[in-house]
Each structure stands twice: as structure tokens, then as C-alpha cells.
A and B are shown apart, each in its own frame.
Chain A
Amino acid sequence: MNIETREINDIVIFELDGEVDLETSPTLRKSLLAHVNVGKSVVVGMSGVAYIDSSGIASLVEAYQTSRRNNSGFILAAISDSAMRVLQLARLDKVFTIQATIDEAVSSLSS
């Protein structure tokens, strides 16, 4: 798994790449929480996610819940088919805010 982050207008954009599994998800969790804990809005671009398991999904859920408590935004964007399949199986596709592209996610948070 590879994580790239950048910041536009106080919104932190994550781009995930590769496999998010039991071995790599702790890195993702730490990195997400570091930003949502200080109240930043976060967009997670997931087009490059070839695989994600329940531990990866759990990291997203935890970050999502923290951002809700902080009243900041948390959007999943450009979700790959395989990642979407797991979100559907977990019935979380209706829980997360999801946008088709990172740009759309950023502008929805900026407005």
C-alpha cells in the first residue's frame, strides 16, 4: 500500500494505492487519525485500491466517526470496483459520503 497526501484549502487529500490489509492498515489508520483528530476535513481517493479488507474498512470507519464528532468533512472518492464491492458487502456503501472524483469531493467540502 502507498499513501500520498496533499492539502488544498485546508482539506487533506489522501490517495491510496495498492493493497490495504492487516499488515498495511495500521499505517493508514494512524495517518488518517492524525488529520481528523485536529479537525481537518479529509478526502480519501481510492481509485488505486486493488484490495481492502475489514481492517482497512475499519480504519475508514474510525476516521469517519471521529470527523463526524469534530464536525469536519470525510469523503471517500473515486472508489475502485473491488473496494466498492467490500463496502457493499459490509453494507457501508450507504453510510459513507461517496463522490465519483476527488475534485467533486473537494468542491462539495469547500462549498
Chain B
Amino acid sequence: MHMETKLNESIAFSIDRQVSLLANMTAQFANTLNVDETLRNALCEITDYMNAEGGAVFLMDEATQIITCVACYGATEITGLKLEYGQGIVGKSVASNQGALVRDVKNDPDFYGAVDDQTGFTTKSILCAPLSVKDRCVGAIELVNKKKADELFDETDLKVLETLASSAALAVINARMARALVEQERVKRELELAAEIQRRFLPDAHEAGDTIFGINKPARGVSGDFFDYFKLPDGRIYFGLGDVSGKGVNAALLMSKTASLFRCLGKTVRDPGKLLGRINAELCETATHGMFVTMVAGIYDPRPGCEGLIRLANAGHEPVLLFQNNTFKTYGADGPPLGIVPPLPGEDGAYDEVQVFPQGGSLYIYTDGLTEGYTLTGHPLEAEGVQQILRQHAHESLTTQLDRLVEAVSPDPRALRDDVTVLALTDALRPVNESETKVGQNETDHSAEKDGDWLIDFKFPARPGWMKLARACVRESCQKVGCDETDTTDIVLAVDEACQNVIRHAYGGPSDEEIELTVRQRPGRLVFRLRDFAPMLPPGFIKPRDLEDIRPGGLGTHLIQEVMDDVQYLRPTQGEGNLLRLVKNIDVNKKGTSKQ
């Protein structure tokens, strides 16, 4: 009875002190996010309050589960001591989220004696309470030895310590959450900055007039998609669109690299297939952990006489769509995505190109975010849906068409499934009847003694597949100046033969090196200049063969001389290469050939 009363009195007294300590500590914790310092202060107060020789606070890194002593008071200094999850009395207390009272450590198998061995301190009795709120445990407070030599910790001490510990735990958890929030905010701000910089990678809306237009709508702040286009000095338009595998920051970084390579290399590499080959080689060189890029690159040629030719290369990307005369045509991938297959040593790894004559139609390139995006019905849009929308809005501007496409897959703009990027190019704005106006001007312009009127500047790879287009250009310029059909056919043949000679003799076979063809009109004649960039050929290297000697080959040079009125092999004024100047006298008024 007597014992019980004494205990009750002591409990009442200690509860009183305990409450005031608790109130004091809670106030301290609430007012600070500097948990470490507050913990140190609290530890002092708790240790003194509990009449312990020493105390320590341990915090657990929730990612690694390593428990570290962050503050000490009294007996020994063990700040920095690291314990594994479940190791020693503290580790066990954290792991089980339960307090521990070890009246006599000598008999406890969990006691981690190494500290005593190092410090020379003799631990007799230990009290340990987890720093926890509900199931989340972030560390523990440990007290060692009562100050009075013969006294040992008891169950009441443990209860008190547990109460104090949970108050401290709340502060630690709050501080950690605050820190995480600050970090999240920081990351968010940085992502916004990154997204802003990414948006600046995209070309200005009307950088190339109304001919080409693109939209990029990222599912998150930053995008793994991009599109770009720019005008080459000769008037052609280079364009590209890419989709990096995966999402998030790593995809966005690879996108930035690919977009930069496109713009930088595109200024000098004027072949889309070759350009993709170069970008692929660069991406393969700096391995990116299995990430890759699907991409389409192309060049559109709106210049007179070039028929709006589009040269396309597709590296593993969704098929490109051409809408022409109310029908759709697709151009699929000819090669693997970029960043997977490095080019063979010594090869440029160029991708195949297709030539598209849009004839006033429009070209659409998009990422799978569009076809796989969910529509209002809850189903993906699919390629059919894309075509349906484009058909519906065929007569509207590119801007409107693309807006309709993106709207279709973003009924809720916040819930985009993937980045959506679309690029569209139309051939409808290319002037078609330019030849008529040109001829008309010439009739009234009598100051024609100056340098020849510009008809065509055309540069193309020295490959047989390009001859058809070269012929179309020459035919166009002949008709433009009013040549009759026979002259036109003859001239086309002669220039074709001259190009073939360049391919065969100057370049020694088909080559990606270029042939530059210029056509100028002078009074009464057409002047063709054909330039290559091969090593110089010795004079007289190409000569016509004796026609009496009937055999295959060697006819070309004869045909050139037969058709043209003047044939000269010259040296280019600048750089390496050979220059062939062909002159054909024309008499537009008589509508007949000047040489029969």
C-alpha cells in the first residue's frame, strides 16, 4: 500500500514535469526546420530529465536504412556512428518500432559492445525508444546508465522516453517532408526552365511562311519529341521530326541533343538520308543506355522547275502521310531508329531516301503520341482517325488542321498520354505558272545584254536515280524560254549524257558527291554549266568515239556534241572539280531549231 502511494505520487510529479518538458520541446520543434540543432537541445533536456549519464539520437536514412548517430550528450561522443537496420539495441528498436529497456546489458545478446570497447565507457543499463509516428520510424533515442551508480532504468522511464520520442519524431518527419517539398519545388522550377529552353528549340511559327507548320504538346513539362525546320540559303526547306524512346528528363536531354545535331549538321549535310546517317553515328558514339530516337528528315524544294520535290528519309519512325488529290499515301521507315546500329567502319551509314512529288498535296509527319492518344470515346485515334480528321479539314490552313488533330487526342489537356508532335508541309502554295510570267517579262525586257537570266540552279547527288529529276529541270527551263519539242528533247538528252559522263568518268561511278547544274538564258542561246567536285580530269579525257566503230558505250559525248552548239571543258573559278559549259543556240521566234 505504502509503496503504491509513493509510486503514484512520483508518477503524478513526473507527469507534471514531463508535460511541461513535452510542451517546451514541441514548441521548439514546431518553430524550426533546423531539426538537427533542435534535436541536440531536446536530447540535453531529455537526458537531464531522465537522470541519465548520456544520451544519443539516431536517425535512419529512409532510402538506405543506415542508422546514424546525429547527436550525443553526456557520457560518450559517438556522433557519426553508423548501424545497420536491426543491428544492436538501437537497430532492433528501429526495426521493430518498439522501445527497449535493458536493465543490464551484460545479459542482453543484442548489446553492441564495440562502442564500449572503443570508448572505454562501461554501459550498464540502456533505454531506447523509437522515433516514430504510427508505422513510420525514422530513428531512435537512446539513453545510457542512470546517474546514480546503483540505479537502473525501469518501465516508467521507458514510457516517458517513448512519449518524448514520438514528439521528436513528428518534428523530424515534418522537417523531412518540408525538405522533400522544397526539393520538389526546386526540381519543378528547374523542369519549367528546361521546358522553356526546349520550347525555344522549336522554330518560330512562321519561320518558313505558311508552307510548313508544327505543333509540340508535351505530356509532362519537358518533351521527348521535337520538330524543326529552316530555310537553306538556296530557298529549299529542311525539316525534321523525332521521338525519343521513353519519357521524362533523360528523354528530353537526348531530344535536345538530337535536335541540335539536326540543326547543326543540316546546314552542311544537304541530303536527308546522309544527315540521318550522321546523327545516328553521333548518337551511337555516345551510348545512351538503350535509348533511341525515331526520326524523319526531309528537304522540300519549292524553287521553280523543281516540282516541289520532297526528299525523305525515315529512321524507324511512324509512316509519313501524303494527302494528294483526295487520297492518302504513306512512306514507311527504310532503316532502324537512330542510336542503335552504328555504321560499319569506313561507311557513312546513310539512310535510304524516297523522292516525293507532292503535286500541290500536303505532307504530315507525327509521333505515336497522336495515333495512340485517347480520343473522347476512350479509344486511341489510330492512323485512320488522323486521316479522317485531315480529310474533314482538307481545305483549311495547316494551322487549323494540326489544331484539330491535337484537340482530338487531348479532350483533357492535363491527361495527355504521351507527347504529341505533328509537322505538316503543304505544296499548295508553290507558284505553278511561273514560267509564263518569266517569258512575258523577257519579251518586254530589252536590256538583256547583261549576264544571263537565271533559270535553274540545281545540285544533286551523282547517282542514276537523280537523272529523272535533272531531266525534268532541264525540260522545264527549255520550255520556259520557248524551245520547241525537238530542241527540248535534244537538249534534255545532251545534258543527261553530260551528267552521265560526270558520274562515270569524274566520280568513277555513282557517288553521293554532287553535280551542280545551272541554266542561264542569254539572248539567242541557253547556257548550261555542269560542275562536279571530283579531281580534275586531264583535257581530252572524254572524247567522242568514231561512229563507224559500232559498239556499246562512248555514244554520250557524241550525242552532246551533236546537239549542242558549243562544248567546252573548263576549270571552275573556285575549288576543285571540273566544269562543262554547253551552249545551245535557240531561236524562239521561228520556233525551230537553229542547227539541223
List A residues at the B interface (Cβ < 8 Å). 19, 21-23, 51, 53-55, 57-59, 61-62, 65, 82, 85-86, 89-92, 95
Whether the Cβ atoms of B551 and A53 lie closer than 8 Å is no
Partner pick for B556 among A19, A23, A54, A91, CB 8 A cutoff: A54
Is B497 part of the contact surface with A, judged by Cβ < 8 Å? Answer: yes
Among B467, B552, B553, B563, point to the contact of A21 (Cβ < 8 A).
Answer: B467
Q: What are 11 A-B contacts with C-beta separation under 8 Å? A: A21-B496, A22-B464, A53-B556, A54-B500, A54-B555, A54-B559, A55-B556, A58-B552, A61-B550, A61-B552, A65-B551
Residues of chain A within 8 A (CB-CB) of B553 are: 54, 58
Residues of chain A contacted by B464 (CB below 8 angstroms): 21-23
Q: Bound complex: CA of A95 vs CA of B464, how far in Å? A: 28
A64 to chain B, nearest CB (A): 9
**Which of A53, A61, A62 contacts B500 (CB under 8 A)?**
A53
Q: Are B465 and A55 touching (Cβ within 8 A)?
A: no
Does B196 belong to the interface (CB within 8 Å)?
no
For window 545-563 of B, CB contacts with A under 8 Å fall at: 547, 550-553, 555-556, 558-559, 562-563
Task: Decide if B550 touches A86 in the complex (CB within 8 Å).
Answer: no
Q: Are B559 and A23 in contact (CB under 8 A)?
A: no
Establish whether residues B468 and A89, one from each chain, have CB atoms under 8 Å apart when the complex forms: no
Q: What residues of chain B lie closer than 8 Å to A21, measured between beta carbons?
A: 464, 467-468, 471, 496
Distance of B487 from chain A, by nearest CB (Å): 11
User: What does DSSP make chain A's interface, helix, strand, loop or mixed?
Assistant: helix
B500 CB, nearest partner CB in chain A, Å: 5
Is A85's CB under 8 angstroms from B490's CB? yes
Instruction: Provide the bound-state CA to CA distance between A21 and B64, in Å.
Output: 71
Of B467, B489, B556, the contact of A85 (CB 8 Å cutoff): B489
Q: Which of B471, B503, B547, B552 has the largest number of chain A CB atoms within 10 A? A: B552
Task: Please name all residues of chain B whose beta carbon is closer than 8 Å to the beta carbon of A57 when the two chains form the complex.
Answer: 555
Q: At the interface, is chain B mostly helix, strand, loop or mixed?
A: helix
**CB-based contact B559/A89 at 8 Å:** yes
> With contacts A86-B559, A89-B562, A89-B563 known, is A22 near B467, CB below 8 A?
yes
The reply to whether A22 and B500 form a contact with Cβ atoms under 8 Å apart is yes
Complex interface: chain A residues within 8 A of B556 (CB): 53-55
Given contacts A53-B497, A59-B552, contact A90 B558 (CB under 8 A): yes
Q: Looking at the assembled complex, report how far the CB atom of B312 sits from the nearest CB atom of chain A, in whole angstroms.
A: 18
Q: Specify which chain B residues have a CB less than 8 angstroms from the CB of A23 in the assembled complex.
A: 464-465, 467-468
Whether the pair A61, B467 counts as a contact (CB closer than 8 A) is no
Is residue B493 within 8 Å, beta carbon to beta carbon, of the partner chain? yes
Beyond A21-B467, A62-B552, A89-B493, is A55–B563 a contact (Cβ under 8 Å)?
A: no
Docked-complex contact A89 and B550, CB < 8 angstroms: no
CB atoms of A51 and B471 under 8 A apart? yes
CA distance A19 to B552 in the complex (A): 19
Residues of the B chain whose Cβ atoms lie less than 8 Å from the Cβ of A85: 486, 489-490
Q: Considering the chains assembled together, what is the distance between the CA atoms of A27 and B96 in angstroms?
A: 82
Interchain residue pairs A-B with the least CB separation, the first 5: A58-B552, A23-B464, A54-B555, A22-B464, A62-B552
Q: Using a CB–CB distance below 8 Å, which chain B residues touch chain A?
A: 464-465, 467-468, 471, 486, 489-490, 492-493, 496-497, 500, 503, 547, 550-553, 555-556, 558-559, 562-563
Query: CA A21 – CA B486 in complex, angstroms?
Result: 18
Docked CA distance A25–B568 (Å)? 28
Nearest residue (CB) in A for B557 is A54
CA distance A54 to B494 in the complex (A): 10
Chain B positions within 8 Å of A54 at CB level: 497, 500, 553, 555-556, 559
Q: How far is the CA of A45 from the CA of B450 in the complex (A)?
A: 48
A35 and B111 CA atoms in complex are apart in Å by 98
Among B468, B489, B562, contact of A19 (Cβ-Cβ < 8 Å): B468
Quick one: which of A22, A55, A62, A82 contacts B489, CB cutoff 8 A? A82
Which residue on chain B has the smallest CB distance to residue A85? B489
B465 to chain A: which residues have CB within 8 Å?
Answer: 23
Complex CA gap A41/B490 in Å reads 31
**A65 lies within 8 A of B550 (CB):** yes
B515 to chain A, nearest CB (A): 12
Cα A85 to Cα B471 with chains together (Å) = 17
Cβ–Cβ < 8 Å partners of A53 in chain B = 467, 493, 496-497, 500, 556
Q: Which residues in A have their C-beta under 8 angstroms from that of B497?
A: 53-54
CA distance A107 to B558 in the complex (A): 35
Select from chain A the residue with minimum beta-carbon distance to B562. Answer: A89
Closest to A61 in B: B552
Chain A residue, CB-CB nearest to B496: A53
Kindly list chain B residues whose C-beta atoms are within 8 Å of the C-beta of A22: 464, 467, 496, 500, 503
Smallest CB separation, A46 vs chain B (Å): 15
A76 to chain B, nearest CB (A): 14
A85-B490, A90-B558 are known; give 17 further A-B pairs, CB within 8 A.
A19-B468, A21-B464, A21-B471, A22-B500, A23-B464, A23-B467, A51-B492, A53-B497, A53-B556, A54-B500, A55-B500, A57-B555, A58-B555, A59-B552, A65-B552, A90-B547, A90-B555
Instruction: A23 to B558: give the CA distance in the assembly, Å.
Output: 20
Contact A91 B467 (CB under 8 A): no
> Residue of A at shortest CB range from B561?
A89
- Give the complex CA separation of A62 and B552 in angstroms: 6
In whole Å, how far is B148's beta carbon from the nearest beta carbon of chain A? 104
| Chain B residues, Cβ within 8 Å of A90 | 547, 555, 558-559
CA distance A69 to B581 in the complex (A): 40
Residue of A nearest to B489 (CB): A82
Q: How far is the CB of B391 from chain A (nearest CB, A)?
A: 32
Q: A55 CA to B503 CA in the complex, in Å?
A: 13
The docked-state distance in angstroms from the alpha carbon of A92 to that of B550 is: 8
Identify the interface centre among A51, A53, A59, A62: most chain B CB within 10 Å of its CB. A53
